[in-house]
Amino acid sequence: MPEKPYIDPEIIPSLERMQARMASRQPMTAVDPKIIRQRANAEFAPLNQHPPNLALIKDIQIEGAFGLRKARLYDALGEREDAPGLIYFHGGGWIVGDLESEDTKLRHLAIASGVRIVSYDYVLAPEHKFPQPLDDCVAAAKSIHSNAHSLGLASRQLAIGGSSAGANLALSTALKLRDEKHSWLQYMLLFYGTYDMCGKPPSRRLFNSFGGGTEAMEFFFSLYLQGKSERRNPLASPLFAEMTGLPPAFINAAGLDVLRDDSRNLVEKLLQAGIETRYEEVPGVTHGFTLLTHEVRAARKIIRTAGQALHSALA
């Protein structure tokens, strides 16, 4: 008998809520993406109640690949000039999520890092299939860099980051900027990302019963990509990309996540390419755990750790 994995006791209520939701409704693979978004928004809302106050939270607009899009500034230190900055892309399988999804998490990250965060509301699939969400993120990153002064940012002290699908987009954005000879990104901050749409590492099987699992992940891939042939595209599956020339990275993985091994494999490849990389794997927690700051101490701890790493990298 294989040994049962360790489960953080504080993650159990979240698992039980998820299991109850899954038992009471049609699976996401059987409903319209608009319904999936409505469900997701309802699930995110309680996680973002009673967030910590910040000196500056401001909704703005950023020029992306498809016109002006919403974005949000977070800064625990208030109005200032030449602040170090983080360009951030939310998770959601490329089909759900917006500026509200990770609002509380980003407030905690702003406090922990002392960095000004720009959270960008990129276009979603299936209305915008690959590579359009990536094109939007690349265009937004360039806009933020070009307009750094008006955003109170230091143009040479910028990092990029995200979680899950947002981590995929952040890494692929860094690859695109490198290939276009832009050298102003100083750091990458990636939480439990999906980096390989082809591989079947052990975590896909070991943790399939935790969260949405492999079936949900395959469904997201099908909505994001125009066809299976794109799975090996290095900008869709960044583990197929050449890593040299990327900025240093902070990589986080969740111990009970089907995507855990994506992060492990990414770390190995970054180190082989000579990229300074810090890896923090949190045992006993599931995909998306950093949204659970109200109830899971491990979520608050990793956000503090990531924030301190970001502060040091951009200081």
Catalytic residues: 164, 257, 287
* Gap between the Cα atoms of 267 and 251, Å rounded: 7
> Apex CA 88: angle with CA 165 and CA 193, to 5°?
30
* Sign of the four-CA dihedral 44, 51, 294, 105: positive
Is-contact 89 120, C-beta < 8 A?
A: yes
Q: How many CB atoms lie within 10 A of CB 32?
A: 10
* Gap between the Cα atoms of 263 and 269, Å rounded: 10
Is-contact 40 96, C-beta < 8 A?
A: yes
The three state secondary structure string of 225-259 is CCCHHHHHCCCCCHHHCCCCCCCCEEEEEECCCCC
